[in-house]
Amino acid sequence: MKTIIKAQNLARHFGNVQAVKDVSFSVPQGRCVGLLGPNGAGKTTTMRMIMGLTAPTSGSLDVFESDASKLNRDLRAKVGLVPQEDNLDPDLSVSENLHIYGRYFGLSKEYLATRVPELLGFMRLTDKADARVVMLSGGMKRRLVIARALIADPDLVILDEPTTGLDPQARLLIWQQLTALKRQGKTLLLTTHYMDEAQRLCDDIVIVDGGKVLDEGTPKDLIARHVPPHVFELQKPVDAKIIKQNNTSEDLGDSMLFFTEKPQAITKILKTDTPYLHRPANLEDVFLTLTGRSLREK
């Protein structure tokens, strides 16, 4: 399988700020890879380096087997970017935004005449084709930015927080359509700080924090590697027998989390009327195990 993106020991600092310290990962063709990390982890900086918009301070970064900062025009045309902040043309209509963006890729009018309606349909924006961008909701703008990134039928689509700030319905639609893109064989790289989004969409996840990769792998592998498969959340006070079992536990204040291999060991101790939550371990548990639960303010 071809490697579309290969980052090795990537680093970038801005003055004294080490935005990216040491990041290595690769994105194989046709996979969806997620950079999962909190705000300030260095995700956007990594994306910008891949797009050739920011130069790495050190390390190497290849996109389509060429140096990312020296991609030629043809290779650049094969990458679609959904930036973190929407930068649509607010004074123009939805379809004009797409037509104009297509011109930057040298696409012909004939091609755009079929491509634009196709993408509007794909992103459920057909009804809004003539609406000015200023009239759109946040979710619609985001869908339009995604449609715009797809205008030249890119092989690689890079999405920086595609659903941040959107309501559940809008997120769901975007997830569905990104899944459809995956099925078409497109290579996707997305950043997110939503665990559910990463778990749902990504084949491989690279967990980043403080400009470094903490671990990477499929969601399943990551969970198996870092946390026991069963999670119980119990209200305090918790029966002392459970605490003595020596499970991995975390104090959440009013309640406690217990991670265990053997759920029966806990359930048999619990009184029948004790309210509790039993769920499989998920990425969030992995993430919090790796990065700690405390609130981090900059």
Partner 1 sequence: MTTPVSSIRKSPSIVTPLAQPSFLNSVGAMWWRNLKVWMAHFWPSMTGSFAQPLLFLFAFGFGLGAVIDQMGNTSYLVYVLPGIVANAVFFQASFEGSISAFSRFHLQKTYNAILAAPVSLFEILVAEAVWAATKALVSGIAVLIVGLAIGAIPHPMMVIAVIPYIFLCCLSFATFSLFIMAYAKGYEFFSYFFTFWVTPAFLFCGVFFEVDRFPEWVQYIAWSIPMTQMIHVIRPMLIAPETLELSTATLYTVYVVVFGVVSLWLAHRQLSKRLFDK
Ligand X SMILES: Nc1ncnc2c1ncn2[C@@H]1O[C@H](COP(=O)(O)OP(=O)(O)O)[C@@H](O)[C@H]1O
23 contacts ligand X (rule: CB under 6 A): no
Which tokens belong to 97? Answer: 């935004």
55 contacts ligand X (rule: CB under 6 A): no
292 contacts partner 1 (rule: CB under 8 A): no
CB nearer to partner 1: pick between 172 and 252: 172
143 contacts partner 1 (rule: CB under 8 A): no
Residue 233 and residue 255 in contact, taking contact as beta carbons nearer than 8 Å? yes
9 contacts partner 1 (rule: CB under 8 A): no
> Among 74, 29, 32, 83, which Cα is nearest to 54's?
83
Interface residues with Mg ion (CB under 5 A)?
43-44, 84
192 contacts ligand X (rule: CB under 6 A): no
187 contacts partner 1 (rule: CB under 8 A): no
37 contacts ligand X (rule: CB under 6 A): yes
45 contacts ligand X (rule: CB under 6 A): yes
Q: According to CB under 8 A, which residues from 66 to 85 bind partner 1?
A: 73-74, 76-77, 79, 81, 83, 85
14 contacts ligand X (rule: CB under 6 A): yes
44 contacts ligand X (rule: CB under 6 A): yes
CB nearer to ligand X: pick between 85 and 261: 85
Q: Which residue in the set 31, 42, 54, 95 belongs to the binding site for partner 1 (CB under 8 A)?
A: 54
Which chain residues interact with ligand X by CB under 6 A? 14, 17, 19, 37, 39-45
Contacting positions for partner 1 (CB under 8 A): 14, 48, 51, 53-55, 73-74, 76-77, 79, 81, 83, 85, 87-92, 96, 100-101, 103-111, 114-115, 118-119, 121-122, 124, 132, 149-150, 152-153, 169, 172-173, 176-177, 179-180, 184-185
